[in-house]
Amino acid sequence: MSHIFPRHCKQLPPVAVRGEGCYLFDGSGKRYLDASGGAAVSCLGHGDPEIIDAVKAQLDSLAYAHTGFFTSAPAEALADLLIAHAPGDLDRVYLVSGGSEAMEAALKLARQYFVEKGEPNRGRLIARRQSYHGNTMGALSAGGNEWRRAQFGPLLIDMSHIDPCYEYRLRRDDESPEEYGLRAANLLEAELLRVGPENVMAFAAEPVVGATAGALTAAPGYFRRIREICDQYGILLILDEVMCGMGRTGSLFACEQEGVSPDILCIAKGLGAGYQPIGAMLCSREIYETIENGSGFFQHGHTYLGHPTAAAAGLAVVNALLDRNLVPQVRKQGAGLADALKAQFAQHPHVGDIRGRGLFQAIELVADRDSRAAFDPARKVAARIKAAAFEAGLICYPMSGTIDGKSGDHVLLAPPFIIDDAQIGELVQKLAGAVEAAL
């Protein structure tokens, strides 16, 4: 009998024993094409010898030293490398163990920044429906996924949630994408005015929404208008690139393609590529200097901050992304994956939308294409696709979102950046089989 507390208590998973390139193998020798990189984690694929060697070398010299006493060479080098490539005036890197921790740090830092600046009323966060920022209480409060939040309501912090920028569902027929982008962004201004801008510290959003809406890109101009509103009302812009960052969308940071830079940026997942648990919060010089010249102490922290072995993995991963020219590769293979998905599903009666950027693509499933009506949640379409795909040796990331009280099913794809054309073919063919089996 197992003593592991699994995610799904009624459905024990097979034992993963080996990873190689884009594939994982279980104990019976069955091979799975990892078309979601777990959850957009394994950007370099599995079993990368360079990253494994970097981790081993770090373990041989120094596994861990507490940041209350020391910094370390890999943490310093990783921070330098990230800042050398980061957008805007991001200047400091706070290394944590994952995405939720990065978001918690972002929320605390935004709050402390305003306290130290002498604006103690600013404590409210505005975020978006149909978003996911992590599962710890602050991050979950920021997230707007009703299913994930539902039973934890009494524990959550009061925050504002505006509609996401979701062209397929929310753009009116009489609006151009640009007009819709502007209208969607102006919802932030309306909420600011409703709650009083003097009470708001920040707006948080994923530049490309991952786990709750399926590779949802914003309409043109949306984020530029968001940036303008944040500046006008003196609030911080927190961008959560935990899933869409680190090259996934075809630029090292997803916000580069939106023409904006945030005050605080969160990354994780692809930063460690699965070789070590690591995330990071990057903040602007202005925020850092406010704390440095004020109390001189960020009142937040975890035991594994700046973990040297995790930092060594992150450093090796970012170097690999750059040295192997993988970001242009993401654009090329991403275009191939988008084309293959369109060829397979564009006429499918139950695929309403095919969207994404780079190697971050998704299909949205609908009961009826004309009305865009979602499937009845009781049909559990996303879960059935996941099970059928897994049976066929394909790991993808189906999920159910909720918008306007209706459930929508998506399948998110985020394969390793080394995926080749034949593997893209295998992915789409197995996905098509799984969709047929599930509907």
- Supply the minimum distance, in Å, between the C-beta of residue 283 and ligand PLP: 17
- How far apart, in whole angstroms, are the C-alpha atoms of residue 255 and residue 251? 8
Q: Is there a contact between 423 and 22 (Cβ–Cβ < 8 Å)?
A: yes
- How far apart, in whole angstroms, are the C-alpha atoms of residue 364 and residue 402? 12
In the region spanning residues 191 to 210, those forming contacts with ligand PLP, defined by CB under 6 A, are: 206, 210
Q: Which tokens is 360 given?
A: 């971050």
- How far apart, in whole angstroms, are the C-alpha atoms of residue 117 and residue 197? 16
The CA-atom distances, in angstroms, between 13 and each of 31, 230, 326, 376, 391 are 14, 45, 32, 27, 11
Q: Does 99 contact ligand PLP by CB under 6 A?
A: yes
Angle at Cα 5 formed by Cα 4 and Cα 7, nearest 5°?
A: 120
The two counts, helices (H) then strands (E), for the chain are: 14, 17
Question: C-alpha 240: how far from its chain's center?
Answer: 7
- How far apart, in whole angstroms, are the C-alpha atoms of residue 205 and residue 143? 9
Q: Which is nearer to ligand PLP, 211 or 337 (CB)?
A: 211
- How far apart, in whole angstroms, are the C-alpha atoms of residue 397 and residue 417? 16
**Residues making up the chain, counted from first to last:** 439
Q: Does 104 contact ligand PLP by CB under 6 A?
A: no
Q: Is there a contact between 415 and 427 (Cβ–Cβ < 8 Å)?
A: yes
- Supply the minimum distance, in Å, between the C-beta of residue 145 and ligand PLP: 10
Q: Which is nearer to ligand PLP, 268 or 287 (CB)?
A: 268
Q: Does 98 contact ligand PLP by CB under 6 A?
A: yes
- How far apart, in whole angstroms, are the C-alpha atoms of residue 108 and residue 193? 23
Name the segment binding ligand PLP (CB under 6 A); options: 97-105, 121-129, 227-235, 413-421: 97-105
- Supply the minimum distance, in Å, between the C-beta of residue 140 and ligand PLP: 10
Q: Looking at 103, 142, 204, 365, which residue binds ligand PLP (CB under 6 A)? A: 103
Q: Does 188 contact ligand PLP by CB under 6 A?
A: no
Q: Which is nearer to ligand PLP, 305 or 340 (CB)?
A: 305
Q: Does 211 contact ligand PLP by CB under 6 A?
A: yes
Q: Which is nearer to ligand PLP, 21 or 272 (CB)?
A: 272
Q: Which is nearer to ligand PLP, 130 or 329 (CB)?
A: 130
Q: Does 242 contact ligand PLP by CB under 6 A?
A: yes
Q: Which tokens is 317 given?
A: 């991963």
Residues touching ligand PLP, count (CB under 6 A): 15
Strands 394-395 and 279-284: what pairing?
unpaired
Q: Looking at 95, 106, 185, 268, which residue binds ligand PLP (CB under 6 A)? A: 268
Q: Which of 153, 259, 133 is nearest to 204 (CA)?
A: 133
- Supply the minimum distance, in Å, between the C-beta of residue 41 and ligand PLP: 8
- How far apart, in whole angstroms, are the C-alpha atoms of residue 5 and residue 12? 10
Q: Where are the alpha helices (DSSP H) in 2-71?
A: 37-40, 49-61
Q: Looking at 94, 132, 275, 298, which residue binds ligand PLP (CB under 6 A)? A: 132
- Supply the minimum distance, in Å, between the C-beta of residue 197 and ligand PLP: 26
Q: Which is nearer to ligand PLP, 278 or 403 (CB)?
A: 278
Q: Which is nearer to ligand PLP, 21 or 37 (CB)?
A: 37
Name the segment binding ligand PLP (CB under 6 A); options: 3-11, 127-135, 147-155, 288-296: 127-135
- How far apart, in whole angstroms, are the C-alpha atoms of residue 17 and residue 24? 8
Name the segment binding ligand PLP (CB under 6 A); options: 109-117, 151-159, 238-246, 384-392: 238-246
Q: Does 265 contact ligand PLP by CB under 6 A?
A: no
Whose CB is nearest to ligand PLP? Answer: 99
**Which residues are CB-contacts of 67 (< 8 A; sequence separation ≥ 6)?**
301, 305, 306
In the region spanning residues 37 to 66, those forming contacts with ligand PLP, defined by CB under 6 A, are: 39
Q: With H, G, I as helix, E, B as strand and everything else as coil, classify residue 36.
A: coil
Q: Looking at 74, 87, 134, 270, which residue binds ligand PLP (CB under 6 A)? A: 134
- How far apart, in whole angstroms, are the C-alpha atoms of residue 229 and residue 279? 28
Q: Does 128 contact ligand PLP by CB under 6 A?
A: no
Q: Which is nearer to ligand PLP, 268 or 413 (CB)?
A: 268
- Supply the minimum distance, in Å, between the C-beta of residue 279 and ligand PLP: 6
The CA-atom distances, in angstroms, between 224 and each of 233, 236, 242 are 15, 14, 20
Q: Looking at 100, 130, 361, 407, which residue binds ligand PLP (CB under 6 A)? A: 100
Q: Does 106 contact ligand PLP by CB under 6 A?
A: no
DSSP state of 276: S
| Footprint of ligand PLP (CB under 6 A) | 39, 98-100, 103, 132-134, 206, 210-211, 240, 242-243, 268
